[in-house]
Amino acid sequence: MTMHNDLPQSFDFIVVGAGSAGCVLANRLSADGRFRVCLIEAGSSDRTPRIKIPAGTLTLYKSRRFAYQFFSTPQEHLANRRIHVPRGKALGGSTTLNSMIYIRGDRTDYDHWQALGCTGWGWDSVLPEFRDLEHCHRHLDPAFHGFRGELDVTTPRDVNPLSRSFVQAGVSAGLPENSDFNGAQLEGVGIYDVTQRDGYRLSAYRAFVHPILNRPNFTMIADAQVRNLVLEAEVARGIVIVQGGETRLLRAEREIVLCAGAIGSPQILMASGIGRSEDLIAAGISPVHHLPGVGQNLQDHLDGLVTVRSTDHRTLGFSGRSLPAVLKSPLKFLFGRKGWLTTNYVEAGGFARTPLACDSVPDIQFHFVPGYRSPRGRLFEWGHGIAIHTCVLRPKSRGSIRLATDGSNRPVIDFSFASEPRDLEVLCEGIRYARRILEQAAFDGTRGTEIAPGKDVVSDGQILDYLRQSAATVFHPAGTCRMGVDEDAVVTPRLKLRGIEGLRIADASIMPTLISGNTSAPSMMIGAKAARMILEDA
């Protein structure tokens, strides 16, 4: 690689990572025109139908072009399996491949952050940020929703009838129907709201960055991998990026903000010599600033699957009976934004309390799939079926991110899933709950043979063994640059890195504890709140 001999480009603020938080942050920082803002993204263009059309999400998780294909270390408590961890690698980050579900979490999640000393992060403080970002297309309570923001939030365009059957079955199983998971109550079953516009995926990039590309004080740099931060006398002054085989230095006159996610942000810090000194030395990195919390506190929602075969051709699947609908789907989408191509595959779901829930807040989440989910991990299987994913909302287990010791600086991801046995016990109860929903009369015309766990897997021991062999991430990593007021915290409640000036972090990595639900919308809120803090300080 060669270093450009030109003088380094200079900006007031450099934002690293064009995902959920970074896109919002870059938008807000550049909005009033006072500051020169640069947004850096390692991924490239999102111009493909696979991203734009909702149903294309199924093709993205194993794509090497649009997703980082990370794998965890062997998980000791999950039969030593390596867990697949795909993360978005395009303009928009993981909002280019997620299921577009808009969930904020429970108010108690944020009030808990406040109780931990994170002043300004309680529910009453973060709700205005959520409202400001949202362009709600439903007639919902304005006390909870915004109607003028950039992020379109709406219902799926053409809900599969089996998704509505799931809601009916959930009610029969004792759960309330919930028409607004982002309103007064999280618990219940219903159709999820999604981040779509006119039937197309609306990523963070398309909502917050693409419309501002012509702002004279805003610069977007894609296909640029951040190699390391440039530190001078405990002040972050710039970043070194690699783009097209060449190395460039970008300088920040005011601040650098890492928004590279729960894997990317600690990886960049450690590659720059910031982290636990002994881990850095083991990776061949000279320690610059000993900050032992970097990469620690990794949390994710552990997920288990109940999948059922069916002959009901209304479900998403390939068969002779469904072939006409499959062949018509491109035309239905093109001319009316209807049909199979509109699905995000998890149109319905909900939140429930198992017998192990310690308070009145749900401890599991359901993602219902009106199609057959292969227990073998295949993207497509011939035939039909239905499935319920169940995840543990408030995991006790904590893992870590470290750097590889082979000199590559690649992240080594160890979730330590189920290191706290209670997580698997809650998930076991969640599997029982999912089965109870599938047993309801609403599925009488659809229900077939349970393939996984299987009808013979009934005792706690058998279900726990099944989960050890099959449970996986539901793609919500968080917590690896924890916000707090104690010595092990990585950032302060103002999101400033402890011990280094001119450097903040704003993404899911700052979450002290994982929120109860999908993490995209909360990450956008974090980006908006970070912008407000930075502009106040400026």
- Which stretches of 31-118 are DSSP H helices? 49-52, 107-115
One-character DSSP codes across 359-416? SSS--EEEEEESBPPPTT--S--BBEEEEEEEEESS----BEEEE-TTSS--EEEE--
Count of other CB atoms within 10 angstroms of residue 7: 8
Alpha-carbon distance of 256 to 265, in angstroms, equals: 12
Alpha-carbon distance of 57 to 343, in angstroms, equals: 9
Site of tokens 């194993």: 62
Tokens of 424: 């698997």
226 marked among binding-site residues: yes
DSSP 139: -
| Cα 265-229-400 angle, rounded to 5 deg | 30
Alpha-carbon distance of 321 to 316, in angstroms, equals: 11
DSSP 58: G
Alpha-carbon distance of 128 to 133, in angstroms, equals: 9
Alpha-carbon distance of 30 to 261, in angstroms, equals: 21
Residues across the chain: 538
Tokens of 27: 């938008």
Alpha-carbon distance of 43 to 283, in angstroms, equals: 25
Q: Are 173 and 440 in contact (CB under 8 A)?
A: yes
Compute and round to an integer the Cα radius of gyration of the chain. Answer: 23
Sign of CA dihedral 186, 192, 197, 202: positive
Q: Are 433 and 312 in contact (CB under 8 A)?
A: no
Site of tokens 């060669």: 2
Q: In angstroms, how far is CA 503 from the centroid of its own chain?
A: 23
Q: Judge whether 476 counts as a catalytic residue.
A: yes
Tokens of 287: 């320690």
Secondary structure, 3-state, 278-317: HHHHHCCCCCCEECCCCCCCEECCEEEEEEEEECCCCCEC
Site of tokens 């699957």: 305
Strands (E) located in 123-206: 134-136, 151-153, 188-191, 196-197, 200-201
Q: Which of 118, 234, 130 is nearest to 181 (CA)?
A: 130
Catalytic residue numbers, as ranges: 476
